[in-house]
Structure 1
Amino acid sequence: MRDAAAPQGEPGIPTTWFVKCRGTVTTAQPQEPYVLNFSALLDVPPAQRVGVVRRVRDALGARGLTISQYQESPPKSATDVPTASFRADHGTEGSADHYTVLLDSGYPGTAVSVAVSTPCLAPTAA
């Protein structure tokens, strides 16, 4: 994704969190199965954001991910910029190999937000 996005600077401080599997947002305990969520901001000038989202969408699609919920919106005013977002899925939801990638260029400032969620993972044996 980084090659397709070609951000101008380093990504913003990434955030990771672990939640319980099966549709809950409760934090998983160390001994529980979990979903790893990762998010970061890519520093992209406003005029290039939609192009970045398109390139990443195309790159993930070329790797076999299913692209859905793709949206582009024109600027709402003379000082606004166009926005784009999408969801990409690998595997079938609930399957052992399912993961999700979300991109959104509508983040305030000069950033594209990226979020990735893994399939349900088992904790490693201690």
Structure 2
Amino acid sequence: MSTETEAVTTLPPGFTRESCLIVTCGDCHNPFGEMDDVGVVHFATLDEATRAVTDAGWQVTPDHVQCSPCTRTQTCRDHGHAWPGWRPCGCGCAIGTPSIPAHAEPHEWRYCKSCGEGEDRAARTCRR
């Protein structure tokens, strides 16, 4: 069996061959720009790409690239979450009219200021 490869030397009108760089997170594999709804960003040089992604909060090391959300998640894994105080749930459970069925009793919630992970729990004190 022979394999034939055909090199295209001339392109039809309207087609252009270009070479560029894209940057992809080594953790979540999302390309730069895709999470911001601007589409995948293409760069002409490594310096241009590195400058743009680091300006956007990405971490770039000689052996790894990490987007800003994954960087924040990694920071929390390494150092713990940045929890604010607990806040009363807004579903109405604190006044006895919960819109979330699982909140028969008053609940409270909080979100990590760094990575955005959230949690809720039964309220420690009754607010009724």
Aligning the two structures, in what range does the TM-score lie when normalised by the shorter sequence?
Answer: under 0.3
More strand by share: 1
Bigger-Rg structure (1/2): 2
When normalised by structure 2's length, the TM-score is: 0.26
Please, what TM-score do these two structures have when normalized by structure 1? Answer: 0.27
Q: Which has the higher contact order (CA 8 A, sep 6+)?
A: 1
- Higher share in helix: 2
